[in-house]
Amino acid sequence: MLSKISIVIPVLNEAHHLSKTLATLTEATGVDLIVVDGGSQDDTIAVAQSAHAKVISAPAGRAAQMNAGAAIATGEILLFLHADTQLPLSFETLIRGTLAQPRTIAGAFDLTIDAPGFGVRLVEWGVHLRSRYLQLPYGDQAIFLPKPVFHAVGGFPDLPIMEDFELVQRLHQHGKIAIVPAPVITSGRRWQRLGVLRTTLVNQLVIGAYVLGISPDLIRRWYRSGLGRG
């Protein structure tokens, strides 16, 4: 019997992007779809319900929302998906095959950004190198892992930002994080809003600040001012 995959999607006022994401999952087999709402005021919940997803509420914040979704998941594999990110065709087969590789305890996908421009292509290239050779995927690459591994590392840390970075650091202590060569397609809205150079620079500053021990709450305030990542 194939391992069941629980897809956990944290949302907050994401009706437009969520409808596109859910439309790509209609043909998926052996999946459990969970949408975790952080207090949306638009049609997000109605969109999720129309796709026959399980809809629950949790305090706003990706870490809290994704942990809440994982807590009710019935699948043996957990896949954490952003509302503005679309999975490739046959992602179920790709995930199961990836986790069957020796020493592999988690995985993520390559990244395609839905925006034009040479600068965006450079970002994709950088993401490819970072995630493949350093085993450092971020949350917009749809991180997946067996549920027992997720619980063994304590789930997502209770942080207002950088929860994906910290989870990956914990996973490194237990095994390999593999990168699926097929890409997810994520919205280009961040790069289009701030510009490629500014977005890339701020991303690196945020990561550096976190590594240096600056308060995640302060980093999050930078993000809310339009200076943060994801």
Q: How much is the pTM?
A: 0.94
Tokens of 178: 């593999």
Q: Domains in the chain, start-ordered, CATH in brackets?
A: 5-190 (3.90.550.10)
Residues 113, 123 contacting (CB under 8 angstroms):
yes
Residues 55, 35 contacting (CB under 8 angstroms):
yes
pLDDT per residue as tens, the chain (230 positions): 679 999 999 999 999 999 999 998 988 889 999 999 999 999 999 999 999 999 999 999 999 999 999 999 999 999 999 999 999 999 999 999 999 999 999 999 999 999 999 999 999 999 999 999 999 999 999 999 999 999 999 999 999 999 999 999 999 999 999 999 999 999 998 888 878 888 888 788 888 888 888 888 888 887 777 544 44
Per DSSP, the residues of 115-168 read: S-SHHHHHHHHHHHHHHHHS----GGG--EEEHHHHHHTTSS-S-SS-HHHHHH
